[in-house]
Amino acid sequence: MTHSDVRVFDADGCPVTAGEGALTALDRSLAALPEGTPLFILGDTNTLRDCLPELLAHAPALREAPTMSVSPGEASKRIDVCTDIWEHLAGHAAGRDTLLICLGGGVVTDLGGFIAGTYKRGIRHIHVPTTIMGMADAAIGAKTAVDLAGVKNVVGVFHRPVGVYIHVPFLRSLGKRELLNGLAEMIKHGLVCDTAHWAAIVDAPLHDIGALAPLVERSAAIKSAVVSTDPMEQGPRRLLNFGHTIGHALEAHGWESQGRALLHGEAVAIGMMCATWLSSELGMLPTGDRDRIITHLLSLYPHQALEATDDHRLLELMRNDKKNKGGQFRFTLLGAIGHGRVDVPVDAAQVMAALDHYRSIATHA
């Protein structure tokens, strides 16, 4: 902690600054840059409309920075979008001393980090996340990626931001669905790392941004700590993949089916329910914990219709998961609430059984 209205967490050498003074701290950092440092702001059309004015009010050092805009949503995480931004930067003679400010949620931070990591073999970037997804998870940890051929996050690099600045009031620009989208990642943090955090989220009034603020900061602290122990995702960081093997496949499959697209957090919530059931079936998780987790997730994320005929395609998509070894799925599962276990072998039949169980609980939705 540097002073009363700012809290700073270390994520493998990247300071993650949260609290009421976060954007003022950002402005101080920018003001300390060498004179003439090129600054660019990347956002989507929503964040440039809803959040940029507040950013500029708190960080006047950015008022002359040109902006670059992408369309909201996962569809912007494409190589051709990167090409447009690379060309824009090159057209403005942006050198290796350029600093890119990424103002947005998980899509903008993933995309912006990848662009920064590859333009001229790497320029500096700062994340100013505007969603729970970005604040609690996506902006922290140096993982950047874009999607390719319907597979999520298949092309990317590790490129650490020089700073992350969390300004919770940006969340007032979001609707309920987008808030729940990010909350899924916070729930994940509690389930794999912190029993008390899980309990606090269960009891939190989700409509109250003030009540959410300390929980968002706690999730940011958890993510920062895990990243610091395993920055290249060789071991403990895989805890954060809980729910994501099935979740990423469901998300990607939704892109292929008109009118069935799920947000990332919605897909991960289904993945967490399936992984929770598998944890119990494999004798790792007590049934009481299993039932509490699934009941709470269903109360937030209404049951989605999954066709059994889609299971083969979901398995195909899962085979591209980066955590697979020797052609075998590797899941993060639970030994108890607050205690995840990484690299648990799971076969295709067990995945299909978990999806069948999710289908069977539709009557509880």
Task: Catalytic residue, from 124, 189, 264, 341: name it.
Answer: 264
Residue with tokens 């004798």: 283
Task: Catalytic residue, from 244, 290, 330, 341: name it.
Answer: 244
For residues 277 and 290, the answer to whether their CB atoms sit within 8 Å is yes
* 223 noted as active-site residue: yes
Task: Catalytic residue, from 74, 233, 251, 266: name it.
Answer: 233
* 58 noted as active-site residue: no
Rounded to whole angstroms, the Cα distance separating 290 from 297 reads 11
Task: Catalytic residue, from 127, 152, 189, 237: name it.
Answer: 237
Rounded to whole angstroms, the Cα distance separating 91 from 275 reads 47
Tell whether the torsion through CA atoms of 227, 278, 304 and 292 is positive or negative.
negative
Side-chain-side CA neighbours of 290 within 13 Å: the count stands at 19
Task: Catalytic residue, from 178, 185, 217, 251: name it.
Answer: 185
* 218 noted as active-site residue: no
**SS3 assignment, position 319:** coil
Task: Catalytic residue, from 241, 253, 266, 330: name it.
Answer: 241
Task: Catalytic residue, from 143, 152, 159, 253: name it.
Answer: 143
* 264 noted as active-site residue: yes
* 241 noted as active-site residue: yes
Rounded to whole angstroms, the Cα distance separating 33 from 41 reads 16
Task: Catalytic residue, from 35, 64, 121, 176: name it.
Answer: 121
How is residue 328 annotated by DSSP? Answer: B
Task: Catalytic residue, from 125, 218, 248, 290: name it.
Answer: 248
Closest C-alpha to 18, from 220, 225, 229: 220
Rounded to whole angstroms, the Cα distance separating 340 from 282 reads 14
* 233 noted as active-site residue: yes
Tell whether the torsion through CA atoms of 110, 112, 118 and 122 is positive or negative.
negative
* 159 noted as active-site residue: no
End-to-end CA distance of the chain: 43
* 121 noted as active-site residue: yes
Rounded to whole angstroms, the Cα distance separating 362 from 274 reads 13
* 330 noted as active-site residue: no
* 244 noted as active-site residue: yes
Task: Catalytic residue, from 127, 188, 223, 341: name it.
Answer: 223
Q: Which residues are catalytic?
A: 121, 143, 185, 223, 233, 237, 241, 244, 248, 264
